[in-house]
Amino acid sequence: MGKVSIVIPTYNEKENVEVLLEKLKDILEKENIDYEIIIVDDNSPDGTAEAARRRARELGIEDKVKVIVRKNERGLSSAVLRGFEKAEGDVIVVMDADLQHPPEVVPKLVRKIVEENCDIVVATRYSKEGGIKEWSPIRKIISKGASILSWILLPKSRGLSDPMSGFFAIKKNVIEEPLKKGIFNPKGFKILLEIIAKSNYKKLCEVPYIFQKRYSGTSKLNQKVILEYVIHLLELARYTGELKRMFKFAFVGLLGIFVNEGFLYLSYEILGLRELSQLGLLLSSAIGFEASVIFNFLIHDKYTFRDLIDTFTLNAKLKRFVHYHNASILGLAIQVTVLFALVSMGIHYLIANLIGIIMGMSVRYSYSILKAWSQS
Ligand code: GDD
Ligand code: MN
């Protein structure tokens, strides 16, 4: 096995980084792994960089520890990218400095790359043996919600049970090209999603771990980071063409309205359901709805989500249809509920209806991509 570069972004992690260096040294030496540690510090006021250099000297590993200090830049992702540029190893590991990512997991990530020929190995909290120590329920919900959002907006991330992970190993050659081309977005917290979206890799693997309690200091994640995350995802969705997919979906939905109206008219007027008065109207509207669902489904299956299908049997298609049907009913229910709720709050019914349609459509889309066209 070649050299492993461990990239660690730091901001005010003085005490943590001292402990982490010692642990990494012990573990990697014991495992006979040739390594270098690249600390990318944004000129932390607490003197993290100095402390890291001193500790490396004390441990006798100053030749293995590079400390980069950035004076005019801030940000987790851009710090990691800087580390990538400096990395000399064939395998790169990215981890936090605060010991929430247990150093004992590092050899597992690296070994998996070598033994199973994975291109990317992500440490996950959301698998049987994974978990989280000491996180508030709110933080857990935010993390889960953020994961679901990434599965919707970035289908490539569906191979990850923990797309929010900041702890992973990659083969250097996976990122070399996009790095050279400068296509990685240096903003934000989620460098892993950048890599998933923009680099070419074949095998994606996972290793479970338990997210530990912060050893010392405080988290840098705040509300601004969450908002930036959503913007970041939308940018990635544009980059990968997912935004286009959403527009296609909405457009097909629009066409479906005409089908709906047409079949309603047909059954009410021409088939004569009008004679049954209210029941006839109800039946006709159900026929209109079903016709539009079938129509939408056929187009979505052939165009909108075609690239996400890997089984083309009739059986699989029927399954997708049942899911899409559920998605449509759920979407309609949401649309109507939002309409009534907003009107009761005094909002004009046309505006309320528009918001209802948009929300119903979003739910329909999310359910479709997460359930009906969820292969790959
Ligand atoms: N250089 C640099 N610049 N480093 C930073 C910056 C920055 O602006 N902001 C944060 N870091 C470093 C921290 O010093 C720490 O080593 C690491 O990035 C993670 O930051 P935390 O503040 O500890 O984040 P967290 O624990 O809330 O979130 C982490 O875990 C989540 C779950 O895996 C991050 O890794 C998230 O990306 C991840 O989703
Ligand atoms: Mn942390």
For atom 30 of ligand 1, which residue has the closest CA?
166
Q: Is the CB of 18 under 6 A from ligand 1?
A: no
For the chain, how big is the Rg over CA atoms in Å?
A: 26
* Both structure tokens of 326: 């559920």
Could you read off the pLDDT of 327-343 as tens digits, one per residue? 999 999 999 999 999 99
Instruction: Judge if the beta carbon of residue 76 lies within 6 A of ligand 1.
Output: yes
**Of 6, 7, 11, best ligand 1 pocket probe by most atoms within 8 Å of the beta carbon:** 11
Q: Distance between CA atoms of 328 and 89, rounded to whole angstroms?
A: 50
Q: What is the domain extent for residue 307?
A: 242-372
Q: Which residues contact 350 (CB under 8 A, 6 or more apart)?
A: none
Same domain, 222 and 294: no
Task: Tell me the DSSP string of 16-45.
Answer: HHHHHHHHHHHHHHHTT--EEEEEEE---T
Residue range 17-57, pLDDT digits in tens: 999 999 999 999 999 999 999 999 999 999 999 999 999 99
Q: Is the CB of 191 inside a 6 Å radius of any atom of ligand 1?
A: no
Same domain, 282 and 204: no
**37, 134: one domain:** yes
Please tell me whether residues 233 and 282 are part of one structural domain: no
Which residue do the tokens 């996976």 mark? 174
Terminal CA-to-CA distance of the chain, rounded, Å? 31
Of all protein residues, the one whose alpha carbon is nearest to atom 15 of ligand 1 is 96
Specify the residue for token string 């247990």: 102
Model confidence at 187, in pLDDT bands (50, 70, 90)?
A: confident
State how far the Cα of 150 lies from the Cα of 369, in Å rounded to an integer. Answer: 11
169 strand-pairing partners: 93, 121
213-233: average pLDDT: 89
133-152: pLDDT as tens digits = 888 899 889 999 999 999 99
What does pLDDT average to over the chain? 95
Query: Is residue 221 very low, low, confident or very high in pLDDT (cuts 50, 70, 90)?
Result: confident
CA of 43 to the centre of ligand 1 (A): 15
- CA-wise closest residue to 296 among 342, 248, 333, 348: 248
Residue 128, domain CATH: 3.90.550.10
Residues 261 and 188 in one domain: no
Ligand 1 pocket, residue 210 CB under 6 Å: no
User: Would you say residue 376 has pLDDT above 50?
Assistant: no
- How, if at all, do strands 65-69 and 35-41 pair? parallel
67 and 206 inside one domain? yes
pLDDT at 220 over 90: no
pLDDT at 10: 97
Structurally, the chain folds into a number of domains equal to 2
Q: How far does the centroid of ligand 1 lie from the alpha carbon of residue 89, in Å?
A: 23
> How many whole angstroms from 54 Cα to the centroid of ligand 2?
23
What is the 108 CA–ligand 1 centroid distance (Å)?
Answer: 21
Residues 302 and 367 in one domain: yes
In terms of domains, do 216 and 318 share one?
no
Same domain, 252 and 311: yes
Query: Of all atoms in ligand 1, which is nearest to the CA of residue 75?
Result: 8
Whether 98 lines ligand 1, by a CB cut-off of 6 Å, is: yes
Answer whether residue 167 shows pLDDT above 80: yes
Tens-digit pLDDT profile for residues 95-128 = 999 999 999 999 999 999 999 999 999 999 999 8
Which atom number of ligand 1 is nearest to the Cα of residue 100? 26
| Closest C-alpha to ligand 1, atom 17 | 96
Q: Determine the average pLDDT of the residues in 173-200.
A: 94
Atom of ligand 1 nearest to the CA of 219: 22
The reply to whether 12 and 135 lie within a common domain is yes
Q: Do residue 351 and residue 364 come from a single domain?
A: yes
Look at residues 190, 217, 240 and tell me which one is the last residue of a structural domain. 240
At residue 233, the pLDDT reads 95
Q: Is 99 in the pocket of ligand 1 (CB under 6 A)?
A: no
Tens digit of each residue's pLDDT (9 = 90 or more) over 252-306: 999 999 999 999 999 999 999 999 989 999 999 999 999 999 999 999 999 999 9
Closest ligand (CA of 9): 1
State the pLDDT at residue 243: 97
Percent of the chain with pLDDT over 70: 99
Residue nearest to atom 21 of ligand 1 (CA): 219
